[in-house]
Structure 1
């Protein structure tokens, strides 16, 4: 629970500091960078404090872990970060180098993954990584890995899918609200990149690193980076178009995720269909699409043109239709939220009891 809260708060603070420095203080690019640095500094300080907090009453002793073991684990992670940089930056580089200023502005603002996507995935990653590591160290049955993976995938999809579908259907209004009416044409780019959110529901790194698949994890990103660079070069030379650049980046990213999913399934001696809760995912996705289309239609027939009003009313109508609908399909959000609330409640009771005992002493 503490890791989940830390990751979520860190991502939220980064967004707030970056946006406030530009919107409130009119800092421009320099202000955005300063906001990012400030939020990173506070997140680093909080992370260092939290890393020592669980071990305040633990006696330290010499570890049996060798430097070679640490490097064999961390090196693939470091290389994946390098390859990930090329995956994320190559499209922007080619658009800025071979296309005009206006198209670069459209691409840089439109082709962005949903902000909440990284927040949810980062939060779940921080929670499941220690659990997968514990299971791997204890030699748990591979079926337990599959069961936990399916549970995390299902719970993450209940949050990501409804929000992703709303952003897909209301993409034009979202672009107009954030950047202005001139950027409404960037909605198609936003729709293309949002497809990644449907596939990347959970973080793949915790289970792959826990299963000793660090090298495969890094190599998959290397292949994706090479594919993006090669296809982008062909694109700008033979069929220059920012939509094609966006399609290349999305297809290569989805390919990377699909290969990692197959690798995980083989390692767990499971099939791809057993690894993913397709039935529950289909229900959530179906309910999200139908509910959001109905909300979009109802907002349209009212004749409302104000962007903020369209998004606010559309979101409320969407929620009023979606939750009863998805409940009829057998997806219970109460069963998902209640365990999380119980964890926070038990944590609060434990801390309160501990404080009372210390005060009584």
Structure 2
């Protein structure tokens, strides 16, 4: 259990420093280029773990799996993470971190709307509290950076959608979360590479520039990928993107899902503190209040999940006990019949 909490601590630190590292790299790299690089590196880091998981289950990837990865890669890497990366370039890292951390709220809504899953009382309360926290941070009456907020919320919404597609697909295809994540990253990076090549076509590059989308015009691929930025790219790709997910899944193997999910419940509180210390970002009082409200919503979800898992465990234990008693009764009956037959 001590090892599990160490994994959770490392994963939390990695995920909470993500926006800070990406903000620091923003001046040297195109946002879409950085997205491509970090997810490719992250996929390479996760690959040994994914291959081990496939080997343990005797599973081989088929064309249907790759179609699923193409879809999840599109939603996660190209749409959600591109919006996320753009949000970081135009808004504070602390604000983006908190807003993006609300993606489980949208995942709950999508699971209810798409998968028709029942939303428990704790989850419903958590959704309401988290939405209130979001509104406090966004502060519609005094919007100062509407574009950044819109991009960050769009990223959170689409990542919530990705989570549901990934969960549904992994259950249907019999793939664990780590394998899904690894090959989603590979597929998304490959799709992003194709798009980057397309934006280099002169006519397309000129068209994108003419409508004010210069960041999407002639997207660079290897510009500034050199020793000057080695440690920054190493931290973003290996430690944050690859390591953060790797330690999260390792924690999940050592403990239960709700305990491992502490990573995402701590992030909204820790990320703004790190941003204030490292980037010297000023955090508005409304953002602080919103963070506290969102953390309360996270606690409600966490406690609700713990009670549900405990209830499932108790129910399973009770069912096993009943089955054991029934089996014992059956054996006793068979033994009695056997003795009776011998006497006859």
Q: TM-score, normalised by structure 1?
A: 0.31
Highest RCO, 1 vs 2 (Cα 8 Å, sep ≥ 6)? 2
